[in-house]
Homo-oligomer: A and B are copies of this chain.
Amino acid sequence: MSVTVVVGNPKPASRTLDAGIRVARALRPEVEPAVIDLVTLGPGLLGWGDPAVGAAVRTVAASELVVFASPTFKATYTGLLKLFLEQFDGGTGLAGVLAVPVMLGAGPAHALAPDLLLKPVLVEIGATAALPGLYLGDRTYADDGVIEAYAQRWAPVVSALEVKHA
């Protein structure tokens, strides 16, 4: 199974990136994830046809498990992440990809955002969004056990779907 982490934080090498990698490794410990830190793609995301953006899209579409990780800005995922998701074809762009929506926030008030706001976009572009959205405290995720509990609960579903998509 190939695994990719897509990071929608406008700051490079962010805690969002770190948390996304942790989620990917917890769900699939035996696979080292590829990482796409969207901010490094720069203005190419504002249009269509940029080669680096196209390569990133192909990497994601060819992955079996993709963690989409975003900080919470104005109570939802970032515009940076949305720009990237707009590069995929509607309905089919993420066909066969198990997509996991992850958001980080300073406090718990926006905990509904991954399931109510981010997951529907992934569904719209055809992903298999079989796991619940995961909301993480951006200062606590490394130690609070939330990622580990999530992985323990949902790794079996990841494995089950791998059987299918193999």
Interface set of A (CB-CB < 8 Å, partner B): 10, 39, 42-43, 45-47, 73-76, 78-86, 88, 90, 107-113, 115-117, 119-121, 123-125, 128-130, 132-133, 156-157, 159-161, 163-165
A74-B124, A115-B123 known, 9 other contacts, Cβ within 8 Å: A45-B46, A79-B79, A108-B111, A110-B111, A116-B117, A129-B132, A157-B161, A159-B164, A160-B164
A43's nearest neighbour on chain B, judged by CB, is B43
26 pairs of residues in contact across A and B, judged by CB atoms under 8 Å = A10-B47, A42-B43, A43-B43, A43-B46, A45-B79, A46-B46, A74-B85, A74-B121, A74-B125, A75-B120, A76-B82, A76-B121, A78-B82, A80-B83, A82-B82, A83-B83, A108-B108, A109-B112, A112-B120, A115-B120, A115-B123, A123-B133, A129-B132, A130-B157, A159-B164, A160-B165
For A47, list chain B residues within 8 Å (CB): 10
For A125, list chain B residues within 8 Å (CB): 74
For A110, list chain B residues within 8 Å (CB): 111-112
CB–CB B82/A112 < 8 A: no
Closest CB in chain B relative to A141 CB, distance in Å: 15
For A76, list chain B residues within 8 Å (CB): 82, 120-121, 124
Q: How distant is the Cα of A43 from the Cα of B125 in the complex, in angstroms?
A: 25
Q: Which of A46, A129, A133 has the most CB of B within 10 A?
A: A46
For A43, list chain B residues within 8 Å (CB): 42-43, 46
Closest CB in chain B relative to A9 CB, distance in Å: 12
